[in-house]
Amino acid sequence: MSNTFYIGIDLGTSRSCLATSTGKRISTRTCVGYPKDIISQKRFGKDYLLGDDALNNRLALNMIWPLADGIICEDKKSIEATGLILKHLIAEALPEKQADDKIYVAIGVPAQASINSKKVIIDITKSFLDKILIVSEAFSVAYSIDRFDECLIVDIGAGTTDLCRMHGSMPEEEDQVTLNFAGNFLDNVITQAILEKFPEVQLTPQIIRRIKEKHGYVYDVSEPVQVTLTTQGLPAEYDITDILKECCLKLTNPISQAIQKLIATFDPDFQKKLRNNIIIAGGGSRLKGIDISIEKSLEKYGGGDAECIQDAEFCGSIGALKMCIEMPDDYWEEI
C-alpha cells in the first residue's frame, strides 16, 4: 500500500528549510558549488556540492546562489541548481520513500514572485513531486502560528522582505508587499560602510554575515561593538558600533514605511488592531531591537505593538507543511 508524504519548504535566498509530516526538519544553505577544474573534480569525486558542504569548500568551486534576488535567477545554471537543492532536501528528508509513494509539497516564495518563477519551480520538480502548492512566504508564517485575524506579518529574509496583512481570509494582492530591502542588502551596506572608514581591512561575505548575525542592532543604546579584522593578514580590533546601527537603520526604515502604508490603507475600523498585532519573522527578526524600532515608527499613528517570532528558522516551512496537509484539492497544482 502506498503512502503520501507531506512537506513544507521555505525556499530562501540564503537558507532553505524543510519540515515533513514524519517529523523531520532540515535546513541548508541555498547554494551549489561546481568543481572549478579537473583537480577539484578529482578531489571531490562528484559533479557538484550542496549547501554548507559547498560553502566550506568554496575556494575550489564555482558557487551558484540561485535565488540571489529572492526569486529564481533565470539563467540555466541557477534553474538547475534550484532543482538540485529541492531534490536533495526531499531525498534527505524521506529516505524511506518507496517507488509508489506520493509526495505533496507546499513551497513558500516571495509574495510577488513572478508567474514565470512559479512556473520554473513547477517545471523543475516534475520528476520527483506529485503535487505542489506555491504560497506566499509571509502567509505561510501566519499559517504556522494560526494568526488569521487582523495582524501584519513582516518576514525579513536574505533576498526580500515580505509583508502580508491578514484579515480572516486569504490575503489579496493589495494586502501583500515585497521589498528588496533585506539581509543581502544589509550585508552590502555594512561592507561599504566598513571599507569607507577602514579601507585596508579584509572582508568576505561570510565575515560580514557573522558580524551582522552576532552584533546587528537598531535600538538607541548598545554596548560597544568591537570586532577583529585583518589587514594584510595582521589582526586588529575595530570599533564599528555607530557604523552597524546606521547600516541597520537603512534596512529597518523602508520596512517601517511599508508597514505604515499597509496600516494607513487598511479599513480604518481595524487599523488599531492591525498596528497592535505586528509579527516579525525571518532571519532579520534576530536584529536586536527591531521590534522596538518598528513600534517607535508608529508613534504618530497612535502607537503599535510588534513581536519577534520564536522559531525564525523553521516557522515558514512549518506553516507551509500545515497548508500542505490542510488545503483542499482545488488549491493544488497537478504536476
Q: Find the CATH number of the domain harbouring 263.
A: 3.30.420.40
pLDDT of residue 161: 93
210 is a domain residue: yes
DSSP 155-200: EE-SS-EEEEEESSS---GGGEEEES-SHHHHHHHHHHHHHHHSTT
Assign 102 a pLDDT band (cuts: 50, 70, 90).
very high
Looking at the structure, tell me whether residues 103 and 134 fall in a common domain. yes
What confidence tens digit (pLDDT) does each residue in 23-40 have?
999 999 999 999 999 999
286 and 324 belong to one structural domain: no
pLDDT one-digit tens code per residue, 178-195: 899 999 999 999 999 999
For residues 85 and 169, membership in a common domain is answered with: no
- β-strand pairing of 131-136 with 102-109: parallel
Please write the tens of the pLDDT for every residue from 12-27.
Answer: 888 999 999 999 999 9
Local confidence band at 68 (pLDDT 50, 70, 90 cut-offs): confident
Q: What is the mean pLDDT of residues 243-256?
A: 93
**Residue 249 lies in domain:** 147-308
Task: Give how many domains the chain has, as a whole number.
Answer: 2
Does one domain contain both 75 and 180? no
- Residue 19 lies inside a defined structural domain of this protein: yes
Three-state DSSP at 202 gives strand
Cell 494607513 belongs to: 264
Rounded to two decimals, the pTM is 0.88
For the cut 90, the answer to whether the pLDDT of residue 295 exceeds it is yes
**Is 166 a member of any domain?**
yes
- According to the model, what pLDDT value does residue 112 have? 63
Give tens-digit pLDDT for 201-245. 999 999 999 999 999 988 766 678 999 999 999 999 999 999 998
